Amino acid sequence: MKQRNPKSQGLAYKRLPRRALILGGLQAAFIGGLAARMRFMQVDQADEYRLLAEENRINIRLIPPTRGRIYDRNGQIIGQNTQSYRIVMVREDAGDVDEVISNLSDLIPLTQDEIDRAKAEMRRSAPFLPVTLADQVTWEDISKVAVNAPALPGVTPEVGTARLYPRYEDFAHVVGYVGPVSDYDLSQIEDPEPVLRIPRFQIGKVGLEAKQEITLRGKAGAKRVEVNATGRVMRELDRQEGEAGADLQLSVDADLQQYAQARLAGESAAAVVIDCETGDIRAISSAPSFDPNLFVRGISVADYRTLTQDNYRPLANKTVQGTYPPGSTFKMITAMAALEAGVVAPGSTVYCPGHLKVGSRRFHCWKRGGHGTVDLNLSLKRSCDVYYYDVALRTGIDNISEMARTFGLGVKHDIPMSAVAAGLAPNQEWKERVHGESWLVGDTANASIGQGFMLASPLQLAVMTARIATGRAVKPRLVRSVNGVEQLSGAGEPLAVNPANLEHIRKAMFSVSNDRGGTAYRSRIIADDLRMAGKTGTSQVRNITKAERAAGVIRNEDLPWERRDHALFVSFAPYDNPKYAVAVVVEHGGGGSKAAAPVARDIMLQALYDGTPPLEAYPVGDRERIREQQKRLEGDRRPKARPTEKERA
């Protein structure tokens, strides 16, 4: 065996302690670092890790907020929350789900839709979470479930809240209704609040409920619950109540609203009443209407089909969504534009032979033989079309369009209702931009009498009338206060028009309703201190051919309903001190003087007297008919008995 050199062996022994020291140092550094890290985690970060461990055991769950209530201007409840009984099932406790549901359906009425929806929700949810089988059931049904509890494992009755609209059809188009949050609803919100993901949480779908959703919803509370490893709730540790939604007080008078709905019954129509002083909407009625409570519960296919197949379109809000050619109710705007442009003076006259030739086309007056020589007052009183054709051609469509917007037409008014339409006050630029065509002189003639492209909603016509009555830019106000805090008035500033010209328009409207020969004379108010000024309107929905004119225009009564003219009437009263402005549109009602003016007069009197007016306010010849009408409407307006849950089912 070869022996190592003693010198090299000595050098090796010297290097060994150096290696040991380096290795030992590295080990010591590692152990020290590990110890420091352990100290940091166990001492410095102890609270954080304790919280993480706690979150594995304690969950925070949201508490739905109480939705704000809705009142009318006098404090009558319009939208409220009520106790609601429901039946829920926990899948893992039920065992055979189908058998339990079958046993339950023998006790209480369950539709196939309810069963299918519940089973689908069970498949999406954890087995220990309760799923609603039946909502808004009666106390009798709750009792049946409790008595038969042994045969219904996993089934439990619960108490919750539901939205109720105690005025039924009266406010359906104004307030709208709530419903469960859908996937579509969530897709329309950029960053949905967690509360919206609570099963069956309800939000506003249409109307005020939707437009004021954030205000009415409130803020969710929270509770801390202890759960086991599978997520089952073991106990509640504490809770923090949320913030209830704000209560809203509307400007609408519930009694006047109810009267307007009753007065419009049997028609496809709309009526709007505006307070001239404040802009408050005192009534805004669309007929026919519907029961919004049906949608809260989940409307049946049969009920929904009934609503959608009705030719009178009960789901449409005609007051703000419906736009119609304003017909002769627009003549005040044409006259005002002509006066302001200096084209005519109040005493200027135009001869009406029954038509006006514009280019190669004849534009006819509604009176075949013509009205003869008329000035501003007489043209409005008798609603002569030729006068307005003539002055409009001299005034120009751009001036007329600008005047229309000054008085609230062609403008989308800012009120919290669904599908508020802007209407249309067309001009030359609009037609070129939208249709790619030049404006024609015939277009101006049509627009001058509220036909052609011109469109307005009943709300806009009421605003127009309030502005004519006051000379101020009255703005409609629907929400009067939020949690008792008064909202901005809609009184408006003075309009930038000559007050003298506006006074001539008002006098002519007075003649329409109060002078013999005025188109609304038969629907006048005879109480001296409540005299009404107004204007009738009839807007065509069909073209009248030359052949028909030659043979005689077919009467509305002889046409199918959907081809008859729309009937319109606008008014304000009292004439000397305007308090209310009213606009009424009756779809396919025929003439405005016959179908719309009597309705507007009755609603106006109801508003002025704040209740049933005395017969002495009506013309003598109308009083017997009005007496019978008042009796009938009083019966229609009696409080309705709320249907039982069984009747609803």
- Give the catalytic positions in this structure: 328
Among 97, 89, 195, CA closest to 132: 89
Q: How far apart are CA 165 and CA 633, in angstroms?
A: 21
Whole-angstrom distance, CA of residue 372 vs CA of residue 370: 6
| Pairing, β 566-573 against β 221-227 | unpaired
Task: Bin 28: left if φ > 0, else alpha if -120 < ψ < 50, else beta.
Answer: alpha
Check if the beta carbon of residue 501 is closer than 8 Å to that of residue 338.
no
Give the three-class secondary structure for 505: helix
DSSP string of 534-582? EEEEEE-SSPPPHHHHHH-PPPGGGS-GGGSPEEEEEEEE-SSS--EEE
Dist. CA 524–CA 515, nearest whole Å: 9
Q: Count CB atoms within 10 A of the CB of residue 388.
A: 30
Q: Could you please report the per-residue DSSP string of 135-195?
A: EEE-HHHHHHHHHTGGGSTTEEEEEEEEEE-TTGGGGHHHH-EEEE--HHHHHT-SS--GG
Residue in the structure block whose two tokens are 């030659």: 550
Q: Please tell me the distance from the alpha carbon of residue 292 to that of residue 294, in angstroms, as a whole number.
A: 5
CA dihedral (637, 639, 641, 645) positive or negative: positive
Contacts 24+ apart (CB under 8 A), 490-496: 490/278, 490/279, 490/280, 491/277, 491/278, 491/279, 492/279, 492/467, 495/406, 495/407, 495/467, 495/471, 496/406
Distance CA 329, CA 585 (A): 11
Pair 376, 344: CB distance under 8 Å: yes
Distance CA 61, CA 220 (A): 10
Question: Among residues 255, 177, 264, 629, which one has the least CA distance to residue 458?
Answer: 264
Tokens of 533: 């000024």
Closest CA to 67 of 208, 169, 189: 208
Contact in structure between 576 and 452 (CB atoms under 8 Å) = no
Length of the chain: 649
Contacts of 486 (CB under 8 A, 6+ apart): 480
Strand, coil or helix: 77: strand
Which is it for the CA torsion 186, 189, 194, 200, positive or negative?
negative
Query: How many CB atoms neighbour CB 370 within 10 A?
Result: 18
Query: What's the rounded Cα separation, in Å, for the pair 631 and 263?
Result: 12
Distances (CA, A) of 66 to 80, 205, 302, 509: 10, 17, 31, 49
Peptide bond preceding 325: is omega within 30 degrees of 0, i.e. cis? no
